[in-house]
A and B are shown apart, each in its own frame.
Chain A
Amino acid sequence: MKKNKLLMKGAEIFFECLRQEKVDYIFGYPGGAVLKLYEQLYDVDFLEHVLVRHEQGAMHAAEGYAKATGKVGVVLVTSGPGATNTVTGIADAYMDSVPVVIFTGQVSSHLIGNDAFQEADIVGITRPITKHNFLVRDVKELASTIKKAFYIASTGRPGPVLVDLPKDVINDSCEFEYPDTIDIKGYKPVSQGNQNQIKKAAEMIRNAKRPLLYVGGGVIMSGGTNELALFAKENNLPVVMTLQGLGAFSGNEPQSLGMLGMHGTYWANMATHNCDVLVSLGARFDDRVTGNTETFAKHAYKIHVDIDPTAIDKNVIVDLPIVGDVKHVLAELATELNHPPKVEAWWHQIEQWKEECPLDYENSDGRLRVEYVIEKISEKTKGEAVIVTDVGQHQMWIAQFYKFVNPRSMLTSGGLGTMGFSIPAAIGASFGIKDRPIVSISGDGGFQMNIQELITAVAYKLPIKFIIVNNSFLGMVRQWQELFHSEKYSFTDLSKSNPDFVKVGEAFGLKSFSTSSPEDVEDLLDKAFAYNDGPTLIEFKVVHEDMVFPMVPPGSSVDNIIIKRLNTKQIENL
């Protein structure tokens, strides 16, 4: 029997599609080209539109929502500047494989290419930073395009998909039918890994003397964290994690060695350098992880499990690639690996490294340090908060000192390194996650990059704890200036030009606190966590000149790891 089809306007079709995709929040900002959609919103009751204050904020909010929940984040903005303002966020989502669908308004079809008011070729602009994008040219293609957009964004290696909607398309009408199935000739993501390769991998792990699991964000995205926990614990395999992988395996488990890479723990890096079988799970051998690719895990037989074939052999040539969904592959690996490798001696060695260079910091001089603040937040929240970082030193200290126990707890801009990520991403996360505290931690630099979104958090009464660790410097840049740029602190000193953050917070309507004393930290955290009728802000004024260690200098081998602050002569010899 033929289905009865309804004649519907583009704007109605748009929201009907979102309903079918079970979208519950869209992050957006209205404007000329999308007025029809905003008019239609009056009749929409199945989703909430969140009004941000800048389109970049909408993008990061959608990312925060997607990273925290695993669902697709949705953005709606107008044409021209509305669309171009999302570009940084789209690039961010592309680098970190975050599923987001961005709807941009566009000028009417007949005006495209005419330099019309608020026209920008956003499809052209975002081509290299989206997984895919579409310009809808006819209202008849609208429903199938939206279906494809959600499918592409959320399957395979996830990523942002942009759909450009000319004004006439959302005004036109057609018969509506939402397709049940999808068939894109050129897009068939794989999930099952090759059986023979998995058998081979299991054999290599079984016979390994010094095996190591190198875990990235892919494990979290695939929902494979239970499989990972079983696999690592049953076989007593040490686990190192990338920045995006933090939370994939609980930091409280004895098998966790924490983060590897440029600012990873000494023992994680030594284990990577000395392992004989390296199993990469949903990680991409990023330069911040590998340093010098020639010497990275150079003694190891390398197994690389990734859903994206292009990730394989891109940075480091591996011995055994397995293309597939890491959740499935891990489950099969566990079955194939019928008896665990003998790793007692290996663990003994790792424990030695842990004793040689533990993670520590100066805390005897009574001055406030970021590491201390992070430790206290970690204790206070038992590692169960959703931590939304910005970019820089504090981000690395969080990676080192916050004990993540759950996946989707570390929301951070890893690949693109976007300052200004934390505030809006925390807002997005706060809409998605209601049963765990959301803590946004920024430096004084990044905090000012999307500071306008504070009012969004206030307007929606989101109980976010905004933390500023204020060292009055662009700390990470300052660190590189000290180590690699002749101590020329060019334009990184903000001490004379920072605003009064407490006044800023109060002006936006946040309960705001500030301290520079370690003794106040727990008390202020208690106050902030006790208040849940809206956001709170705490400024921690910390030591100016602290540096993040350990540090493997960029492009270097683990042999050159810097454990502690160097004197000038040592710096000259770097």
Chain B
Amino acid sequence: MKHIISVLLENRFGAFNRVATMFSGKGFNIQSISIGETEAPEISRMTLVTSGEDKIIEQVVKQLNRLIDTIKVVDLTQTSTVVRELALISVFYQKATRAEVTNICNIFRGNIVDINNKTLTLEITGPPAKIDAAINVLMQFGIKEMARSGAVALKRGEQIKDYKKETTFSQL
């Protein structure tokens, strides 16, 4: 099963590497990973999409917690969450199909951000499944190239205010 894990970590040299090294060393898979600064510049938020049996995911969360540079680790899968991804998709068009591509872009509430004599570049934002759907329907025109950002996610409602280490396991 797919899991979205949100990690607050020190915005420090090598911190991201530690996470990546741990994943490869333990043989966990990563479907996507995205990272950026938070409102506190010394802290970054990393959003990881991974999949596996519950036992594996439990280990993923524990191993992430174990890293000294991680401050808080939350598996967002079972919580009410806003998940967004951005894709830039460069699609071939001809005179006859240009309107249709534009139309599809509108249906997905995307923007056309570039055009040349052969391709249109679409910017589409939304949950990963919506991006998948857009890609599926654009496939018929031929996709020249594309870039996906990987998912970013935040829990709905309450905000994470304190940066204390997740205490779930110490309560065991």
Contacts and interface: CB of A to CB of B under 8 A. Distances in A.
Given A127-B21, A323-B172, A188 B14 contact: no
Contact of B169 (A132, A185, A309, A314): A309
Contacts of A186: 9-10, 67-71, 165
Given A128-B22, A152-B68, A194-B171, A185 B14 contact: no
Nearest to B62: A310
Nearest to B24: A128
Contacts of B18: 127
Contact of B68 (A124, A187, A312, A321): A187
Nearest to B63: A310
A190 interface: yes
A317 interface: yes
A123 interface: yes
Interface in B42-98: 55, 58-59, 62-63, 65-71
A202 interface: no
B165 to A, nearest CB: 5
B172 A185 contact: no
Interface in A143-196: 152, 184-188, 190, 194
Interface string B1-24: 000000001100110011001100
Nearest to A192: B170
Interface string B139-166: 0000000000000000000000001110
B41 interface: no
B68 A190 contact: no
A132 B15 CA distance: 11
Contacts of A190: 170
Interface in A114-132: 123-124, 127-128, 131-132
Given A186-B68, A194-B171, A323-B170, A309 B14 contact: no
A362 interface: no
B30 to A, nearest CB: 16
B172 A322 contact: yes
Interface residues of A, number: 27
A310 B172 contact: no
Contacts of A185: 10, 71, 163-165
Contacts, number: 62
B68 A184 contact: yes
A312 B163 CA distance: 25
Q: Which of B14, B18, B66 has the most chain A CB within a 10 Å cutoff?
A: B66
A218 to B, nearest CB: 15
B71 A313 contact: no
A135 interface: yes
A336 interface: no
A308 interface: yes
Nearest to A185: B71
Contacts of A312: 62, 172
A313 B59 CA distance: 8
Given A185-B163, A185-B165, A310-B66, A135 B172 contact: no
A299 interface: no
B67 A135 contact: no
A127 B169 contact: no
A309 B69 contact: no
A562 B98 CA distance: 75
Contacts of B22: 128
B169 A313 contact: no
Nearest to A187: B68
Contacts of B63: 310
A463 to B, nearest CB: 40
A309 B68 contact: no
A197 interface: yes
A194 B172 contact: yes
A135 B13 contact: yes
Contact of A123 (B10, B14, B62, B70): B14
A308 B10 CA distance: 21
- In order of increasing CB-CB distance, the 10 nearest A-B pairs are A309-B169, A190-B170, A132-B68, A310-B62, A128-B25, A323-B172, A186-B71, A127-B21, A185-B71, A187-B68
Interface of A: 123-124, 127-128, 131-132, 135, 137, 152, 184-188, 190, 194, 197, 308-310, 312-314, 317, 321-323
Given A135-B14, A310-B66, 7 more contacts: A137-B13, A152-B68, A185-B10, A190-B170, A308-B66, A309-B66, A310-B62
29 contacts: A124-B17, A127-B17, A128-B21, A128-B22, A135-B13, A135-B14, A152-B68, A185-B10, A185-B71, A185-B165, A186-B9, A186-B69, A186-B70, A186-B165, A187-B165, A188-B164, A188-B165, A188-B170, A190-B170, A308-B66, A309-B62, A309-B65, A309-B66, A309-B169, A310-B65, A310-B66, A312-B172, A314-B59, A323-B170
